[in-house]
Amino acid sequence: MTAVQETGSAPAEERPIGYGRLKRKEDPRFVRGKGHYVDDVQLPGMLHGAVLRSPLAHARIVSIDTSAAESHPKVRAVITGATLEGLGLAWMPTLSMDTQAVLATDKVRFQGQEVAFIVADDHYAARDAVELIDVEYEPLPPVIDARRALDPDTPVIRDDQEGRTDNRIFDWEAGDKAATDEVFARAELVVAQNMLYPRVHPAPLETCGCVADMDPVDGKLTLWSTTQAPHAHRTLYAMVAGLPEHKIRVVSPDIGGGFGNKVPIYPGYVCAVVGSILTKKPVKWVEDRSENLMSTGFARDYHMHGEIAATREGRILAVRVKVLADHGAFNGTAQPSKFPAGFFHVFTGSYDIEAAHCAVTGVYTNKAPGGVAYACSFRVTEAVYLIERLVDCLADELHTDPAELRMRNLIRPEQFPYPSKTGWEYDSGDYPATLRKALDLAGYDALRREQAERRARGELMGIGLSFFTETVGAGPRRQMDILGLGMADGCELRVHPTGKAVVRISVQTQGQGHETTFAQIVAEELGIPPEDIEVVHGDTDQTPFGLGTYGSRSTPVSGAAAAVVARKVRDKARILAGAMMEVSPDDLEWEKGRWFVRGDPTAARTIQEIALAAHGVLELPEGVEGHLEATTVYNPPNLTFPYGAYLCVVDVDPGTGVVKVRRFVAVDDCGTRINPMIIEGQVHGGLADGVGMALSEIISFDEDGNCLSGSFMDYLVPTALEVPAWELGYTVTPSPHHPIGAKGVGESATVGSPAAVVNAVMDAIGVRHADMPLTPGRVWLAMHGGVEAPQ
Ligand code: MCN
Ligand code: CUN
């Protein structure tokens, strides 16, 4: 399926580190069906949990009768909000610090909200007993359209919060409003556009679940859990339950995809823990597909109004944005007042402009909670889509070529490190070179000629571009003020006497290949072959603290920690090698895998020899500890800013509006590339995400708040038939502040690709704007001057 263009630009010709295109260490177990997922965990005496969910989007709970369920012969416990209140666990912090009802007591606030939890001998009995619970609801008018959420007569959804009189969660701003308004006032040209980034779902193949095992004897809770952030979860459980950290072990085994969906804590986890406490048995809870789609963290749902000011020659001067952010019934993102919109900081994209301002209002609605997840780098996806659509609207207004318009406004290489108008410092880049490469790879001029010929024949061919800058590697405390949390990660490396090594990392893999790439980082630094390096992750009892895998932060933060800890080991090995050869360490030089005496390369000790010596063989020099190991905690000095240029070619059927993505060219720059094959896999997945969001995916609701996208029959993720053979290229601009120059890449393609697809479709049909997903019906309507009311 793949045409990979190995066209790295000289002088940064591809020099992947640590054995480059190494096949993934984790794949042999996956291809043999030997992966070990949460649902594979089987413990003696294990019971099974199931959740009763609200059928209504907004209702008062009049009564809950559990008596029939309790008398079911296989039921071991029935948990309601009242049970949890008795235990002081009725409310929990999601990872966001906003509180969410674990189980609804007074009201239900979205369809699918958790109302009760059954623990039974087997899964089927648990499901049957759920049906036996009798809840009497008094329906309330639901608030589904975020644009109505702040109307004076709209019901207050979160009346559980003291003093609350409306549905406003926060108002947030970035940039300089006065300066921006001033530029707009004098600009020759202003183009404005409303757009909706619809609600979408990460839809990992494996749904969420856990096995909770509270050992009644030693009081230790073990939680096998589908989490992207085991340490962060442990801390929150410790804080809520009042247990010390050493009495909680969170194990995140193989994970069938996360994509952000597995960052939050969900009520099912808490209920399984309580179920285990009450029954003194392990309790497994795994949600089904509909539960996952209807009730777990969704993404986007941004109503955006963007304006771009420019000269008639096509110089972009300023950008102004107003956003209404629909966060559902519980604000699933951090720091209600600040963070959700925080990363919207990057709405100026990759362009050098004079002024920018953005105002975001977040509101509650009667929809599932969230507002963060899905390969988004926390709102960069929305921001990139907005600016890349605006630039195309401007090109349309100016009758200019969109590639040329981008080329003349991109930040220039000599401007890095580039201080953005909203407070970031972009670390490095050569944007024009990357755009040029994408255009060359695609054969842009020839494509435009082909398009003209086809148009003359009445065919609708479109070419769409997007250029994105990502902010990943969350991040240093100074910049993460919007979150109120610094993001340092630990790493531990131990070289065994035989020279084999184990590296314990703070992040967790859900398919990104950490077991391979982290071994490669250490291999590069120490010259130990990657197959001799075991990567331990996803178990809080076995790994150092870190904040987890999201925001493509593993490489920027934890990957940096792995390089730093390996360098510490290398430094110590130097001292030991000096002692072994009875020379001063200052006279030694490093060459992959060994220290040798300067001027005499034959006088050397390999890392394996040094490791053995370090374990009792060598008479240690004064003040030097035995063994060959080190620990570190890495505090990133800045985020990393990967970027890329994407080009999409589509054909639209004039009769039906069906869009066919014919080609997709993606040139990514993630700095130093560790494993190009894994990077390509990440990009392929992200591009498929982008095509899905652009063309078919939406979580939609009817006016009563019924979720209309509760299965894969309705929520249409693209299959192999809907995506083209990706054509990939790359450039390499190392990050100057990262120990190995690497930037993250895990979300780049999801962030960058939707705008390219939408731009291509608009180019094909000659329409300024239509909202995603561009289903045949919507495209047809847009072609015929109609607009479907946005959700
Ligand atoms: N990599 C590399 N060279 C670089 C950058 C990255 O070889 N210069 C490799 C890394 O070593 C790692 C992989 O690419 O093996 C992704 O690295 P990174 O960009 O650091 O992202 P994370 O590992 O932190 O993964 C998180 C990111 C996020 S936030 C989402 S969402 C997403 C994504 O990863 N979820 C995924 N990709 C996913 N891929 C799979 N298969 N499953 C998911 O759930
Ligand atoms: Cu925003 S989805 Mo990823 O950061 O886990």
Per-residue pLDDT tens over the stretch 570-618: 999 999 999 999 999 999 999 989 999 999 999 999 999 999 999 988 8
Centre of ligand 1 from the C-alpha of residue 675, in Å: 11
**pLDDT score at 595:** 98
Centre of ligand 1 from the C-alpha of residue 673, in Å: 12
**Exposure class string for 645-659: b at 16+ Cβ within 10 A, else e:** bbbbbbbbeeeebeb
Per the CB < 8 A criterion, the answer to whether 91 and 276 are in contact is no
Quick one: which ligand is closest to 686's CA?
1
C-alpha dist (Å) from residue 473 to 278, 480, 583, 645, 665: 40, 11, 41, 20, 25
Quick one: which ligand is closest to 530's CA?
1
Per the CB < 8 A criterion, the answer to whether 372 and 378 are in contact is yes
Structure token pair of residue 247 = 């009495």
Which ligand 1 atom is nearest residue 255's CA? 44
- What DSSP state is assigned to residue 558? I
The answer to whether the bond into 11 is cis (omega within 30° of 0) is yes
Centre of ligand 1 from the C-alpha of residue 745, in Å: 6
* CB contact set of 362 (below 8 Å; sequence gap of 6+): 168, 169, 170, 171, 172, 325, 327, 331, 336, 340, 341, 371
Q: Which CATH number applies to 488-634: 3.40.50.720, 3.30.2000.10, 3.30.365.10, 3.65.10.10?
A: 3.30.365.10
Centre of ligand 2 from the C-alpha of residue 200, in Å: 13
**pLDDT score at 424:** 87
Q: How many CB atoms lie within 10 A of CB 24?
A: 20
Which ligand 1 atom is nearest residue 748's CA? 19
SS3 618: coil
Q: Whose CA is nearest to atom 32 of ligand 1?
A: 259
Q: What gap in Å lies between CA 82 and CA 784, rounded to an integer?
A: 55
Residues 143-167, mean pLDDT to the nearest whole number: 95
pLDDT at 724 over 60: yes
Domains of the chain: which residue ranges?
Answer: 38-140+207-254+262-295, 299-474+638-783, 488-634
At 269, give phi and psi (nearest 5°). -65, -45
Which ligand 1 atom is nearest residue 670's CA? 8
Per the CB < 8 A criterion, the answer to whether 725 and 2 are in contact is yes
pLDDT (tens digit per residue) in 292-311: 999 988 889 999 999 999 99
Please choose from 555, 669, 675, 743 the residue to mutate so as to test ligand 1's pocket, defined by most ligand atoms within 8 A of CB. Answer: 555
Q: Are strands 643-652 and 99-101 parallel, antiparallel or unpaired?
A: unpaired
- What DSSP state is assigned to residue 640? B
Q: Whose CA is nearest to atom 16 of ligand 1?
A: 746
CA-nearest of 665, 662, 273 to 465 is 665
**pLDDT score at 12:** 44
Quick one: which ligand is closest to 260's CA?
2
Which ligand 2 atom is nearest residue 376's CA? 1
Q: What gap in Å lies between CA 581 and CA 462, rounded to an integer?
A: 68
Quick one: which ligand is closest to 511's CA?
1
Please choose from 343, 550, 689 the residue to mutate so as to test ligand 2's pocket, defined by most ligand atoms within 8 A of CB. Answer: 550
Q: What gap in Å lies between CA 246 and CA 234, rounded to an integer?
A: 10
Structure token pair of residue 775 = 């289903």
pLDDT (tens digit per residue) in 642-678: 999 999 999 999 999 999 999 999 999 999 999 999 9
pLDDT (tens digit per residue) in 64-104: 999 999 999 999 999 999 999 888 877 766 555 566 789 99
Centre of ligand 2 from the C-alpha of residue 298, in Å: 11
**pLDDT score at 786:** 75
CATH number of this structure's domain 38-140+207-254+262-295: 3.90.1170.50
Q: What gap in Å lies between CA 643 and CA 261, rounded to an integer?
A: 24
- What DSSP state is assigned to residue 788? P
Give 154: exposed, middle or buried? Use CB within 10 Å, 0-12, 13-18, 19+.
middle
pLDDT at 287 over 70: yes
Quick one: which ligand is closest to 252's CA?
1
pLDDT at 708 over 50: yes
**pLDDT score at 97:** 53
At 199, give phi and psi (nearest 5°). -70, 125
Question: Is 299-474+638-783 CATH 3.30.365.10?
Answer: yes
* Helix ranges, 594-744 (H): 607-612, 676-695
Centre of ligand 1 from the C-alpha of residue 18, in Å: 17
* CB contact set of 449 (below 8 Å; sequence gap of 6+): none
DSSP states of 377-390 as a string?
Answer: TTTHHHHHHHHHHH
Which ligand 2 atom is nearest residue 549's CA? 5
**pLDDT score at 6:** 41
DSSP states of 14-67 as a string?
Answer: ---STTSSPPPTTHHHHHTT---BGGG---TT-EEEEEEE-SSSSEEEEEEE-H
**Rg of the chain taking only CA atoms, in angstroms:** 27
Opening angle at CA 222, ends 94 and 104, nearest 5? 35
Centre of ligand 2 from the C-alpha of residue 784, in Å: 37
Ligand 2 contacts (CB < 6 A) are: 228, 258-260, 263, 372-378, 550-551, 747
C-alpha dist (Å) from residue 337 to 98, 171, 173, 731: 10, 7, 11, 38
Centre of ligand 2 from the C-alpha of residue 96, in Å: 14
Centre of ligand 1 from the C-alpha of residue 100, in Å: 29
The full length of the chain comes to 791
Tell me, letter by letter, the H, E, C secondary structure of 742-763.
ECCCCCHHHHHHHHHHHHHHHH
Centre of ligand 1 from the C-alpha of residue 170, in Å: 31
Which ligand 1 atom is nearest residue 554's CA? 24
Give helix 444-456 / helix 431-442 axis angle, nearest 10°.
50
Residues 23-30, mean pLDDT to the nearest whole number: 96
pLDDT band at 335 (very low <50, low <70, confident <90, very high): very low
Which ligand 1 atom is nearest residue 672's CA? 8
Tell me, letter by letter, the H, E, C secondary structure of 412-469.
CHHHCCEECCCCCEECCCCHHHHHHHHHHHHCHHHHHHHHHHHHHCCCEEEEEEEEEE
Centre of ligand 2 from the C-alpha of residue 220, in Å: 30
Centre of ligand 2 from the C-alpha of residue 229, in Å: 11
Structure token pair of residue 480 = 């993460």
Per the CB < 8 A criterion, the answer to whether 430 and 644 are in contact is no
Please choose from 96, 200, 227, 259 the residue to mutate so as to test ligand 2's pocket, defined by most ligand atoms within 8 A of CB. Answer: 259
Do 488-634 and 38-140+207-254+262-295 fall under one CATH topology? no
Averaging pLDDT over each range in 166-175, 322-331, 363-372, 594-603, which range is the top one? 594-603
Centre of ligand 2 from the C-alpha of residue 470, in Å: 12
pLDDT (tens digit per residue) in 732-758: 999 999 999 999 999 999 999 999 999
Per the CB < 8 A criterion, the answer to whether 550 and 538 are in contact is no
Centre of ligand 2 from the C-alpha of residue 549, in Å: 8
pTM for this prediction: 0.96
pLDDT band at 264 (very low <50, low <70, confident <90, very high): confident
pLDDT band at 141 (very low <50, low <70, confident <90, very high): very high
Ligand 1 contacts (CB < 6 A) are: 204, 257-260, 375, 510-514, 517, 549-555, 670-675, 678-679, 682, 685, 742-747
Tell me, letter by letter, the H, E, C secondary structure of 193-221.
EEEEEEEECCCCCCCCEEEEEECCCCCCE
Q: What gap in Å lies between CA 683 and CA 731, rounded to an integer?
A: 14
Q: Whose CA is nearest to atom 29 of ligand 1?
A: 550
Share of the chain above pLDDT 70, in %: 93
CA-nearest of 366, 369, 368, 367 to 142 is 366
The answer to whether the bond into 417 is cis (omega within 30° of 0) is yes
Q: What gap in Å lies between CA 757 and CA 388, rounded to an integer?
A: 11
Give 485: exposed, middle or buried? Use CB within 10 Å, 0-12, 13-18, 19+.
middle
Which ligand 1 atom is nearest residue 262's CA? 44
The edge-to-edge listing of strands for the beta sheet with 588-591 is 588-591, 594-597, 600-606
Quick one: which ligand is closest to 200's CA?
2
CA-nearest of 235, 304, 227, 239 to 269 is 227
At 585, give phi and psi (nearest 5°). -55, -25
Centre of ligand 1 from the C-alpha of residue 678, in Å: 8
C-alpha dist (Å) from residue 198 to 121, 371, 443, 460, 772: 41, 11, 32, 25, 7
* 711 residue type, one letter: S
Opening angle at CA 282, ends 279 and 287, nearest 5? 105
Which ligand 1 atom is nearest residue 742's CA? 8
Please choose from 201, 263, 296, 380 the residue to mutate so as to test ligand 2's pocket, defined by most ligand atoms within 8 A of CB. Answer: 263
Q: What gap in Å lies between CA 535 and CA 519, rounded to an integer?
A: 6
